[in-house]
Amino acid sequence: MFNIFKLATRNLFRYKRRTLLTSTLITLGVVSVLLFISISGSFKALMVGQITDSMLGHIQIHKKGYLASIDSLPLNRNLTRKQIDKVVQVLAEEDAVEAYSMRIKLGAMFSNFIETTNIRLNAVTPADEMKTAPLLTDRILEGEKENLLKAGEILIPELISKGMKVKVGDGIVLVANNKDGSVNGQNFMVRGILEGISGPGGRDGMIHINDARSLLRIEAAEVSEIAIRLKDIDQLPAVFTSLQEKLGSMKNKQGMPVFEVHTWEKISPFFNIAKMIDLMTFFIKIMLVAIVLVSIMNVMVMAVYERINEIGTIAAIGTLPNKILGLFVVEGFLMGVLGTAAGTAISLISIAIMNATQIRFDFGRQTGLLLSPTIGATDVILVVVIVIAIAVIASLQPAWKAAKMDPITALKHV
Amino acid sequence: MSVVVAEQLIKTYVAGDIKVEAIRGVDFTIEPASFVSFIGPSGSGKTTLLNMIGCLDPPTAGKLQVVGQDITNLNRQDAARFRGEHIGFVFQDFNLIPVLTVFENVEYPLQMVQNWPTAKRKRRVMEMLEAVGMADQARKYPSQISGGQKQRVAVARALVTNAKLVLADEPTANLDKETANMVIDLMKKMRDEFKTSFVFSTHDPRIVDNVEITFALDDGTLHRLETSAGGAHV
């Protein structure tokens, strides 16, 4: 086998320019794919992290039917005390759950005593919310970040801050309808300005859950949603399945389901963008396969054609057909290895440079997002294996032709 | 035991409806350590005959034995194996592998065909290169040596496996007179040293003058010519 590799290597060096061109083409393909995977993966991870860690959590539990009418923030579809206790009991059995936060979601009128506008609010227990959405405090553009907020304080979205000219420390009034239709108002002090981000809830304000209860005159311990954070997002499918089995299957006296359990993917429209990115990555991989297939096959067909006489010679002096086949397959394999090695090296160096230079980008209303491209060993290995396998497959047809060549015809070839 | 025994050997080529009888029932034998040539005009069938003896082209009918083995019905794989073990080839265009050095070209059949152990193989290659006077050129590539030197390397490659039979198709056609004579002398010397039979297909009178047996082919039929010190005659 070593001899076949030696001969194949020498033949590749014999046609230096052609080998270089083909390997360069493969290198470019590998670089494109690996950089695309790393950059799109970084973007995806950044957005997913931002959505889950600063807003949604990984999983949310609502009363059945809540999500379908979430636009109107219905207060009559809140989870009751008994239902909350059941959820808490189930969550206590899940080792993968790191934290959870109970929220009341409500709509209100926001007044700075001069103007009034609508505002959507999340009412939370600060300590639980900070554990469930650890990046939430990073979204506080102005104001104190420590402990998130206290009763009587409000975090307002930057759009309202700018539109209503409200600053940190200002007093405002929230007026809200409770579920019976009566109206109540309450004074708040602006604790901070929240950065708006893409996705549901990305432009909501935030108050303490006790304030929401008094504003809405909710006496019982009821909540609109329970947001859950997992220790590891990779456990999402397993935990979701488990919760779905334990909670999704529970029925009320009328035989109707009590809870609905959703992953962030179901709630955030960004999941579709993430799916699109995955699809694009797949098609880019297909393009890479096509590039490798066409270029290697083209080169190997030429290599066989140019060496017909040589093939005749080695066949005549007794080289077995499978060795001739091996010789050409190894040439294709080595070209694949050469292109892939160079492509992988260039890609990894480029990723390191991008991380070192701290490239920032804007996405929607968000500016200055840090691009941190990374690539997993699995992705690199997968691309390397695909390229080398395709290089070998592409060499098979020309190699087969060489192995099956009639020595007499080959020796006559000029 | 004869190196080659051919009995009623026939080779017919078929192209569509046309049948061409290239060899028409020939009989001949070639003894060990002999110097034999097949001569004849172009298209007379001498290369076809050489290809059949060399296991490159199976006969249509008849019986052909080479080094005691019936090769009439060998399949492609077995034919290749047989060639690698028993037959050496010398080509008109030398046909050395351009990416291998002189040493590696001679080493090729031992390494890629017969799988000799390294030390024994290297020793044998050096012996052959010394025998053909090319030991000092061992590290050079074919593009760095002359035509005559290339043919000497080709002779070494043909003999390195201890082949009992070397088939040479117009081995001097691309050489000048002086070099051609040197190559013929070398092959004779090799025949004497290794007791190998050399069979030529040639037009070259210099070869015909040097062989002991000449077969003339004419339109697929074979005649043995009487030879004298000065060469062959009918």
Residues in B closer than 8 angstroms to A317, CB to CB, are: 83-84, 88-89, 108-109, 113, 157
Residues in B closer than 8 angstroms to A14, CB to CB, are: 98-99
Residue A355: other Cβ atoms inside 10 A: 16
Q: Is the pLDDT of residue B232 over 70?
A: no
Same domain, A165 and A296: no
Q: Which residue has 């060998």 as its token pair?
A: B74
Contact A314 B108 (CB under 8 A): yes
pLDDT of residue A372: 85
User: Residue A313: closest CA among chain B residues belongs to which residue?
Assistant: B95
Same domain, A250 and A315: no
pLDDT of residue B194: 82
In contact, A62 and A95? CB cutoff 8 Å: no
| Chain A residues in contact with chain B using a Cβ-Cβ cutoff of 8 Å | 3-4, 7, 10-11, 13-14, 309-310, 312-321, 323, 407-408, 411
Distances in Å between the alpha carbon of A377 and those of A89, A232, A342, A382, A383?
A: 39, 19, 16, 8, 10
DSSP annotation of A80 reads P
Contacts of B163 (CB under 8 A, 6+ apart): B86, B87, B88, B196
In contact, A409 and A392? CB cutoff 8 Å: no
Domain stops at, among A228, A257, A286: A257
Per-chain mean pLDDT for chain A: 88
Q: Is the pLDDT of residue B229 over 80?
A: no
Contact A319 B84 (CB under 8 A): yes
Interatomic CA distance for residues B227 and B234, integer angstroms? 8
Domain stops at, among A257, A289, A317: A257
Same domain, A290 and A403: yes
Same domain, A379 and A289: yes
In contact, B210 and B188? CB cutoff 8 Å: yes
Same domain, A85 and A147: yes
How close B79 gets to chain A, by Cα (Å)? 8
Question: Could you tell me the domains of chain B?
Answer: 35-61+74-233 (3.40.50.300)
Contact A317 B77 (CB under 8 A): no
Contacts of B59 (CB under 8 A, 6+ apart): B9, B10, B11, B23, B52, B72
How distant is the alpha carbon of residue A188 from its chain centre? Answer: 37
How close A314 gets to chain B, by Cα (Å)? 8
Cα dihedral B130, B132, B133, B138, rounded to 10, equals -70
Please check whether residue A263 lies inside any domain of the structure.
no
Q: Which of residues 188-217 of B touch A (CB under 8 A)?
A: none
Same domain, A393 and A360: yes
Cα dihedral A111, A112, A114, A117, rounded to 10, equals -40
Please check whether residue A262 lies inside any domain of the structure.
no
In contact, A333 and A26? CB cutoff 8 Å: no
Same domain, A34 and A148: no
Please check whether residue A264 lies inside any domain of the structure.
no
| Per-residue three-class SS string for chain B | CCCEEEEEEEEEEEECCEEEEEEEEEEEEECCCCEEEEECCCCCCHHHHHHHHCCCCCCCEEEEEECCEECCCCCHHHHHHHHHHHEEEECCCCCCCCCCCHHHHHHHHHHHHCCCCHHHHHHHHHHHHHHCCCHHHCCCCHHHCCHHHHHHHHHHHHHCCCCCEEEEECCCCCCCHHHHHHHHHHHHHHHHHHCCEEEEEECCHHHHHHCCEEEEEECCEEEEEEEECCEEEC
Interatomic CA distance for residues A187 and A175, integer angstroms? 9
By C-alpha distance, which of B67, B97, B70, B86 is closest to B9? B70
Residues in B closer than 8 angstroms to A312, CB to CB, are: 95
pLDDT of residue A4: 85
Residues in B closer than 8 angstroms to A310, CB to CB, are: 95, 97-98
* DSSP element (H, E) containing A107: strand A97-111
Instruction: Give the DSSP letter string of A170-217.
Output: -EEEEEEE-TTS-EEEEEEEEEEEEPP-SSTTTT-EEEEHHHHHHHTT
The pLDDT of B136-148, averaged and rounded, is 92
Please check whether residue A276 lies inside any domain of the structure.
yes
**Choosing among B49, B94, B97, which should be mutated to test the A contact, i.e. which has the most A CBs within 10 A?**
B97
Interatomic CA distance for residues B161 and B116, integer angstroms? 10
Same domain, A299 and A381: yes
Q: Is the pLDDT of residue B233 over 60?
A: no
Same domain, A36 and A71: no
What stretches in chain A show pLDDT beneath 50?
A: none
Interatomic CA distance for residues A227 and B149, integer angstroms? 85
The predicted complex's ipTM stands at: 0.89
How close A317 gets to chain B, by Cα (Å)? 5
Same domain, A157 and A249: yes
Contact A321 B108 (CB under 8 A): no
pLDDT of residue A346: 96
pLDDT of residue A212: 93
Tokens at residue B17, please? 């409806």
Q: How many domains does chain A have?
A: 2
Please check whether residue A265 lies inside any domain of the structure.
no
Same domain, A278 and A399: yes
pLDDT of residue A67: 83
Question: Phi and psi (nearest 5°) for A195?
Answer: -65, 135
Please check whether residue A60 lies inside any domain of the structure.
no
pLDDT of residue A200: 65
Contacts of A137 (CB under 8 A, 6+ apart): A130, A145, A148
pLDDT of residue A120: 92
In contact, A281 and A37? CB cutoff 8 Å: yes
Residues in A closer than 8 angstroms to B85, CB to CB, are: 318
Instruction: Name the 3-class secondary structure at A369.
Output: strand
pLDDT of residue A365: 60
pLDDT of residue A198: 65
Residues in A closer than 8 angstroms to B57, CB to CB, are: 408
Q: A102 pairs with which residues across the strands?
A: A226
Look up the domain containing A106 and give its range: 65-257
- B102 versus B182: the higher-pLDDT residue is B102
State percent of chain B over pLDDT 90: 37
Same domain, A319 and A408: yes
Domain stops at, among A226, A257, A288: A257
Per-chain mean pLDDT for chain B: 87
pTM to 2 decimal places: 0.74
Please check whether residue A28 lies inside any domain of the structure.
yes
